[in-house]
Amino acid sequence: MPRSLRLVALALPLLLAGGAPAQTFQGLDSPPQQPKKTKPKPSTTSSTTKPASATQTSGQQGQGLGLDLTTPAPPPAKTDLPMPPPPPSKKGTAPTTTFEALDVSGRTADRQRLEAANASFQRGEYDKAALAAWELMNDPKMAPLQLESQYLLGKTLYRMGQYHSSLGEFSQILARGQDTRFFSKSLEWLFFISHKTVNESVILDEVARYANAQWPERYQDEFHYLLARYFFVRGRALDTVEQKGEAAKSFEETRKLTAQIPKSDRFYAQAKYLEGLTWIRDRNAPRALEAMKEVVRVTRPASDRSAADAKIADATRDLAFIQLARIHYGARQNRYALYYYGKIERGKPDWLEALFESSWADYRIGQYEQALGNLITLSSPFFRDEYFPEALILKAVIYYENCRYAESTAIVQEFERRYKPVYDALDDLTRKNMEAADDYAVLAEIQRKNRTAKKTGQAPDLILERVLKLALSDKDLKNTNDSIIELENELDGMKTHPSLNNTELARNLQDILKKQRTALIQKAGLMAKAKLEQEQAELRTLLANGERIKFETTTKEKEFLEEQLQAGGRRAIIKKYKYSVAVNDDQLYWPFQGEFWRDELGTYQYTLTKGCIERKTGNASVSDASAPTPK
């Protein structure tokens, strides 16, 4: 997400880039932990405040933007389909497959060969089963059994961990039409594959392609949710290319699909969250608030949830809290925003984002010490690789508000020293009229260089590292990048099956994976280019705001100097503030001496010891900030 917190016009936040915030629906994989640390009461005084005991949780949302923007072509007409096999016993597990006992009596030699391949599959001899199925598929004499052999090959590849290769086989079966014998069962395998891959976006196109098919009843709700995600991502892509009318139709379709998911279903909360995002996009704050509050209500901790479902519910709940805070911030209801930001527990995937955005709300209501304390956490070595350029701008503004002009100017200079090279690097990249694949190749090369540097014990190039962090802060792009890496690992994984080496099957699978990789790279390239251009524009705005702060600072210093001259040097610019080290009963005062401890993160308060004689200076020209832009 572009974390653009401009010092100008206020706007309702739109979650149009990810994941988040575009968020979206990944980043749900990190279960919270709760180590606890308590420090003894010190006898010295200082300028930081922390709770007496701090509980820390630690932890760490997927679609592609390069989708076909045309309306998906309807598949052939519905036909009656055979009943699908039983569902898997739990999410992410392979389906139970049953076979008849191997009895070759009274059967043709062709059927015996297929039964022998099935027997190998049952025994777990997947390499042997895959080779046998491949031979049957490509034997002209076995044409009547070709489809069944391909279905067996798709299942075998799944069991071998070759999920993208398996998807390729089932996609070919589905392309034969709804009257195909294994059509319904192949639809089910799409769900099984989506539960195993790093994200579900790899099957969204297939789900949309067969939207009018007769989906298995027990997967109807998951189908509606995945199709809603497809239309939501499609709507965002249309928004990006300024096709607002078509985008509005996609978002309306998203709401229609999410409305079909019952409250008792495990996908209800995620569907309701999607609905809320569409209302945010349409700037309908009341309906967006109600949707997000409903997410919070239905994701309360419950003992009857499985561990996997509890993790998803908890992560979706945090995403809803973030959106509630942003909606209130956009409406200038800053204390409501702080309430919801505070609901994100320390160490969770969205905690740093919430901590940073809450700093702007603290600043708006004059809680400068808390805002600066939050920025101390963001500057800690634990988060050195995180990307929050606006943090320095906010810090400079707070010092400006308190007439600490020298410090404000120094902070802006530090911002320019750190991020002007990043802007220049982005400018060089975006000026090149490269193909989409070349745009992604740039990011892939940065990743490769960073991995090599880490392996050799060298420090990665900081500027290139920041460019990469910028690009992958878009959750859609990150998910697509993860899928590309997963696909490349599958290609490398073929080496772990020596019996397949130098076989026609292996060469065919490699060709299929390379074609899928090319398509994913094309999508990732388009997203990377859009994201880097967006971040370049954000940095341009921040650099301009920095120049504005320096201009305003110089103007104020000139005014105070003139007043001092007129007063014969007796005019004071700043004075010492009165402050106390007293804290609440459930807190103790702990001096900050430049050391960072994990159990202290998020608890700092920076004490301003001096500033303007009039605490509220009225420097309104640089004191506003736009709403946090959803990630």
**pLDDT, tens digit (0-9, with 9 covering 90-100), for 472-496:** 777 778 888 888 889 988 888 888 8
Task: Give the rounded distance of the alpha carbon of 330 from its chain centre.
Answer: 22
Cβ neighbors of 213 (< 8 A, separation 6 or more) are 75, 78, 178, 183, 187
The answer to whether 599 and 36 have CB atoms below 8 angstroms apart is: yes
Cβ neighbors of 13 (< 8 A, separation 6 or more) are 280, 323, 326, 327, 329, 330, 627, 628, 629, 630
Q: How much is the pLDDT for 459? A: 63
Mean pLDDT computed over 179-183? 91
> Where residue 571 falls among pLDDT bands split at 50, 70, 90?
low
Mean pLDDT computed over 91-119? 63
Say which residue, 429 or 55, is predicted with more confidence: 429
pLDDT digits (tens, 9 = 90+) for 438-464: 888 887 887 777 777 777 777 666 667
Token look-up 């420097």 returns 619
> Where residue 580 falls among pLDDT bands split at 50, 70, 90?
confident
Between CA 603 and CA 464 the distance in angstroms is 32
Q: What is the 3-state secondary structure (H, E, C) of 161-217?
A: CCHHHHHHHHHHHHCCCCCCCCHHHHHHHHHHHHCCCCCHHHHHHHHHHCCCCCCCH
Amino acid sitting at position 48: T
The answer to whether 429 and 532 have CB atoms below 8 angstroms apart is: yes
- For residue 355, pLDDT beyond 50: yes
Q: SS3 for 32?
A: coil
Q: Which of 193-207, 235-249, 499-513, 612-626 has the lowest mean pLDDT?
A: 612-626
Mean pLDDT computed over 529-534? 84
Q: How much is the pLDDT for 142? A: 87
Q: How much is the pLDDT for 462? A: 67
Q: How much is the pLDDT for 276? A: 97
Q: Which of 50-59, 326-335, 504-513 has the highest mean pLDDT?
A: 326-335
The answer to whether 505 and 130 have CB atoms below 8 angstroms apart is: yes
Dihedral through CA 336, CA 338, CA 343, CA 348, nearest 10?
Answer: 140
> Where residue 59 falls among pLDDT bands split at 50, 70, 90?
very low
Mean pLDDT computed over 236-261? 92
- For residue 289, pLDDT beyond 80: yes
Q: How much is the pLDDT for 496? A: 84
Mean pLDDT computed over 281-299? 96
96 DSSP assignment: P
Mean pLDDT computed over 308-322? 94
- For residue 8, pLDDT beyond 60: no
Say which residue, 226 or 448, is predicted with more confidence: 226
The answer to whether 293 and 286 have CB atoms below 8 angstroms apart is: no
Alpha helix (H) residue ranges in 284-367: 285-298, 307-330, 334-341, 351-364
- For residue 62, pLDDT beyond 60: no
Q: How much is the pLDDT for 101? A: 45
The answer to whether 244 and 221 have CB atoms below 8 angstroms apart is: no
The answer to whether 341 and 361 have CB atoms below 8 angstroms apart is: yes
- For residue 623, pLDDT beyond 50: no
- For residue 558, pLDDT beyond 80: yes
Q: How much is the pLDDT for 359? A: 96
Q: How much is the pLDDT for 324? A: 97
- For residue 352, pLDDT beyond 60: yes
Q: How much is the pLDDT for 460? A: 62
Q: How much is the pLDDT for 613? A: 57
Q: How much is the pLDDT for 217? A: 86
- For residue 323, pLDDT beyond 90: yes
Of the chain, the percentage scoring pLDDT greater than 90 comes to 41
Q: Which of 210-224, 359-373, 605-619 has the lowest mean pLDDT?
A: 605-619
Q: Which of 27-31, 83-87, 369-373, 422-426 has the highest mean pLDDT?
A: 369-373
Q: How much is the pLDDT for 212? A: 87
Please give the C-alpha separations between residue 467 and each of 113, 163, 417, 422, 545, in angstroms, as whole numbers.
Answer: 55, 31, 16, 7, 21
Mean pLDDT computed over every residue of the chain: 79
- For residue 562, pLDDT beyond 70: yes
The answer to whether 133 and 140 have CB atoms below 8 angstroms apart is: no
pLDDT digits (tens, 9 = 90+) for 120-155: 999 999 999 999 999 999 998 888 899 999 999 999
Mean pLDDT computed over 273-296? 96
Of the chain, the percentage scoring pLDDT greater than 70 comes to 78
